[in-house]
Amino acid sequence: MTLIARRSPRRWGPLVAAALFASAVAGPAVPGSAAVEEDTTQTGLQTAAADVTNADGLETLVSDYETRVPTEYTADSWAPFAEALTTATDVVEADSASESEVAEAKTELQTAAADLELLQSTFATITNNTFWRDTAGDPIYSQGGGVFKFGDTYYWYGVHYRGAESYLANPTQKYDNQVTFVSIPVYSSQDLVNWKFENNVATTSTSLGSLGGTMGNAGWIGRLGVAYNENTGKYVLPVQMWHPTQDHGVLFLQGNSPTGAFTFGNFQKQVVNSPTTGTGDQTVFTDEDGQDYLIFSNREGRSRAFVSKLRASDSLMAEPAVEIGRNGDGREGNAMFKLDGKYYMSASDLHGWNTSVNYVIESTQGRVQGDYTDYYTMPGTQMDYSHVTQTGFFVTVKGTVRDTVIYAGDRWADFAWNGIGYNQWVPITKEGTGIRFHSMSQWQFNATTGEFRVAPGNNYILNPDIQADRIIVSNVVGWTRTGSSGVTNVNGGANGSRFALQVSNGAGVRQQIQVPAGTYTLGLYTKGSGRVTVAGADGKAYTLNVPSSSGWAKRELTGIALSAGTATVTVTGGSGNLVADQFSLVRQGGADPGSATRYEAEGSGATCTGAIDGNHSGYSGTGFCNGDNTDSAYAEFTVQATAAGTATLNLRYANGGTTGRPGDLIVNGTRVETTPFGSTGAWNTWTTQTVTVQLRAGANTVRWDPTTANGLPNIDYLDVAQASG
Ligand code: GCU
Ligand code: CA
């Protein structure tokens, strides 16, 4: 392997970016000119690069790829990449490079980068039912978009709506119609789990070009994707727009780099063969050969599903559409993926961001615009309405071991208060001759090999929060009535959630799920009295008798030994009604609980921003940490690990307040998740919260930063168990 001589990366400072901006107004910026040569920091690049030329887009790409380290990749994949990088560098440095030379260098560099093979790969954890944050700890506001791979990097584009901020700040009410457009953010990731905020590629001040005005004047912006055009070397972003004076249509923006500013390209009111202007819902699908398509339904009724090629010359228009599916009821959230040579177009029920099963049609001749089957229900989406989501988009990962499609579900629901978190991602795999949706609350994914596994914190119960139906029903989805009546969902769930399950005296429901062998803990919130039974495939049953309470109380049953196979959870009402919510059935696994090391909150290795109290019984050691009620009152533990690797954290806490007291979990300075710390009903009712983290050998800091002014719950101890082997 020959290592190419690499020049030191040239970076743009704010001064240079300002100069580029000025020259973009006066005429094209000349890369390699004296002004651009200035070597300062990269600060200001992404926000100030308002209208750079395509050559500057290539320069951005080159300076990004110059950060790759050869020792991390196979020699075979590094050689062509190094060559493409040299060529691209030469094009950047040649002042006279033509537009087509720039486009070619971009395409070649990205193609070689896409083929880079990492020597080592790791699993990263995806935790659903939480509000996701980026690598800087800021909330990810990205709805109705898509993830696209350019080179070796995944880019996630979507819309930031104002209502998303309201819902995150207070998720105990609805925020209907708060879809005011804020921006189109882009995040980047190598593992599809850790996302770095890059830029807002479009904002309310992005010009609508010849249409006049800006994107801030539009009445609706949503449902977008990004395609790379090999001919122009530009990235094209089609987005649905409704504009009070321009009608419905598809707005095409374009940019020179995946993360730079996108500017007006075209506005297409109607795609030929579609019966109406605009689109119903739409996404962008990129085939394995690089051809990009707009996938959409017709705007009114949404009964017809279309595939439309983006035109080859510049991708700024959708060619005449081909109808591939039809259903009288209407289908929305239309999105496509390809698995094992077959195309699948999936959609949800037509009822305004409601959750539903996924309806899918599949190609019968392996042609994207060819014949498709009728709609059928995707297996695995029935019991919890696709993990309580509407179809968002799909990410197809071609791994070294297997191909896996990630279903990126959309639980924004117009901010309609049907669960925590906007993005619920789960894997879809081939199963026999069909496909299967694997509903999991927590799982681990290896973006290199394409493999996934259930994460230790997974809740095996489906529709555990009774949020899937969204209307009052007498057959709660996922929960089968054991009798003919006496079951309903009711308004007013635990911890400010919208719904709970109600079973009247003697009536009951049952859920059957597949579990691996292990010892499990059942948790739930209850009002009234009754019982919950968990029986394993071997028939051995464990019963939690729920004593009567008038307010919500957290209940727990530990030590449930289940054999592998079908487990049955039965909920039965006692005298009066039993109201139950926030069920969890979590395996006490991933690590041997016996080998856990306990760190008491009052111990010397811990920091408590508050007082060590002893006034609420049931704690271990000599007291617990009662943190101050402010958002700065963190709790921190110094934890020793014998080797680097996975560890299971069990934090014991009590929260006698009525709402959750979420805290950001920060391990060695990096945020892992927001732990919800739901109410336990009373200050002397203790429970444990389980999280899986990566620790390094030696000392580690594990810290929870409260995200609200209520501070953290009372904290008793942290148990740390390292995974064996
Ligand atoms: C009560 C309770 C404390 C708790 C506090 C809180 O005062 O006794 O233990 O920490 O509420 O709301 O944080
Ligand atoms: Ca407190």
Note the pLDDT tens digit of each residue in 37-51.
333 333 333 333 344
Per-residue buried b or exposed e for 371-384, using 16+ beta carbons within 10 Å of the residue's own CB = ebeebeebbbbbbb
Q: Span 195-203, mean pLDDT?
A: 97
Asked if residue 176 and residue 144 are part of one domain, the reply reads yes
* Cα torsion 313, 315, 320, 325: sign: positive
Asked if residue 197 and residue 60 are part of one domain, the reply reads no
Q: Span 111-136, mean pLDDT?
A: 91
Angle at 18 between CA 14 and CA 20, to 5 degrees: 115
Q: Is residue 680 part of a domain?
A: yes
pLDDT at 119: 85
Q: Is residue 48 part of a domain?
A: yes
Instruction: Count Cβ atoms within 10 A of the Cβ of residue 493 and give its class: 0-12 exposed, 13-18 middle, 19 or more buried.
Output: buried
Task: State which of 544, 562, 587 marks the end of a domain.
Answer: 587
pLDDT at 24: 31
> pLDDT band at 16, cuts 50/70/90?
very low
pLDDT at 589: 65
The parent domain of residue 15 ranges over 2-27+36-114
Under 8 Å between Cβ of 246 and 235: no
Asked if residue 255 and residue 150 are part of one domain, the reply reads yes
Q: Residue 86 and residue 100: Cα distance in Å, rounded? A: 17
Counted domains in the chain: 4
Q: Residue 350 and residue 364: Cα distance in Å, rounded? A: 25
Calculate how far, in angstroms, residue 316's C-alpha sits from the geometric centre of ligand 1: 59
Asked if residue 108 and residue 52 are part of one domain, the reply reads yes
Probe ligand 1: pick from 630, 714, 716, max atoms within 8 Å of CB?
714
| DSSP strand pairing (423-431 vs 403-410) | antiparallel
Calculate how far, in angstroms, residue 608's C-alpha sits from the geometric centre of ligand 1: 14
Nearest atom in ligand 1 to 626's CA:
10
Asked if residue 142 and residue 110 are part of one domain, the reply reads no
Instruction: Count Cβ atoms within 10 A of the Cβ of residue 34 and give its class: 0-12 exposed, 13-18 middle, 19 or more buried.
Output: exposed
Structure tokens at 68: 């790759």
Nearest atom in ligand 1 to 657's CA:
12
Q: Residue 349 and residue 333: Cα distance in Å, rounded? A: 8
User: Where is average pLDDT lowest: 19-23, 172-176, 217-221, 704-708?
Assistant: 19-23
Q: Is residue 465 part of a domain?
A: no
Asked if residue 369 and residue 350 are part of one domain, the reply reads yes
Q: What residues does 159 pair with on adjacent strands?
A: 143
Task: State which of 537, 566, 587 marks the end of a domain.
Answer: 587
Instruction: Answer whether residue 647 shows pLDDT above 80.
Output: yes
pLDDT at 203: 98
Distance between alpha carbon 510 and the CA centroid of its chain, in Å?
Answer: 30
The CATH number that applies at residue 637 is: 2.60.120.260
Indicate if ligand 1 lies below 6 Å from the C-beta of 714: yes
pLDDT at 123: 86
What is the torsion angle, in degrees rounded to the nearest 10, for the CA atoms of residue 487, residue 490, residue 494 and residue 495? 160
Asked if residue 301 and residue 162 are part of one domain, the reply reads yes
Nearest to 12 by CA among 47, 38, 50, 51: 38
pLDDT at 57: 92
Q: Is residue 471 part of a domain?
A: no
Percent of the residues in the chain that have a pLDDT greater than 70, as a whole number: 91
Q: Is residue 714 part of a domain?
A: yes
Q: Collapsing DSSP states into helix, strand and coil, what is residue 2?
A: coil
> pLDDT band at 55, cuts 50/70/90?
confident
Higher pLDDT, 151 or 137: 151
pTM (two decimals):
0.76
Probe ligand 1: pick from 624, 626, 628, 680, max atoms within 8 Å of CB?
626
Instruction: Answer whether residue 261 shows pLDDT above 60.
Output: yes
pLDDT at 413: 62
Calculate how far, in angstroms, residue 585's C-alpha sits from the geometric centre of ligand 1: 28
Higher pLDDT, 584 or 177: 584
Q: Span 554-559, mean pLDDT?
A: 94
Q: What residues does 284 pair with on adjacent strands?
A: 294
Q: Span 376-402, mean pLDDT?
A: 94
Asked if residue 370 and residue 302 are part of one domain, the reply reads yes
Tell me which DSSP letter residue 576 carries. S
Mean pLDDT of the chain: 88
Q: Is residue 470 part of a domain?
A: no
Indicate if ligand 1 lies below 6 Å from the C-beta of 257: no
Q: Residue 606 and residue 718: Cα distance in Å, rounded? A: 10
Indicate if ligand 1 lies below 6 Å from the C-beta of 683: yes
Asked if residue 196 and residue 267 are part of one domain, the reply reads yes
Q: Is residue 436 part of a domain?
A: yes
Calculate how far, in angstroms, residue 185's C-alpha sits from the geometric centre of ligand 1: 39
Asked if residue 619 and residue 563 are part of one domain, the reply reads no
Query: For 622, how many CA atoms within 13 A lie in the half-sphere containing its CB?
Result: 5
pLDDT at 447: 94
Structure tokens at 643: 């080797």
Q: Residue 689 and residue 404: Cα distance in Å, rounded? A: 30
Nearest atom in ligand 1 to 616's CA:
9
pLDDT at 724: 53
Structure tokens at 609: 């921003």
Tell me which DSSP letter residue 5 carries. P
Asked if residue 568 and residue 701 are part of one domain, the reply reads no
> pLDDT band at 463, cuts 50/70/90?
very high
Asked if residue 238 and residue 144 are part of one domain, the reply reads yes
Q: Is residue 58 part of a domain?
A: yes
Instruction: Count Cβ atoms within 10 A of the Cβ of residue 330 and give its class: 0-12 exposed, 13-18 middle, 19 or more buried.
Output: middle
DSSP 190-214: SSSSS-EEEEEEEETT-B-GGG-SB
Under 8 Å between Cβ of 248 and 299: yes
Which residue has the least CA distance to atom 9 on ligand 1?
Answer: 626
Under 8 Å between Cβ of 121 and 160: no
Q: Span 87-98, mean pLDDT?
A: 90
User: Where is average pLDDT lowest: 193-202, 504-513, 578-587, 672-681?
Assistant: 672-681
Distance between alpha carbon 390 and the CA centroid of its chain, in Å?
Answer: 13
Query: For 435, how many CA atoms within 13 A lie in the half-sphere containing its CB?
Result: 28
Indicate if ligand 1 lies below 6 Å from the C-beta of 619: no
Structure tokens at 346: 């999936």
Q: Residue 375 and residue 305: Cα distance in Å, rounded? A: 11
> pLDDT band at 7, cuts 50/70/90?
very low
587-633 residue pLDDT tens: 986 444 445 788 999 988 899 999 999 999 888 888 999 999 999 99
Structure tokens at 710: 């209520």
Structure tokens at 319: 């060619």
Instruction: Answer whether residue 25 shows pLDDT above 60.
Output: no
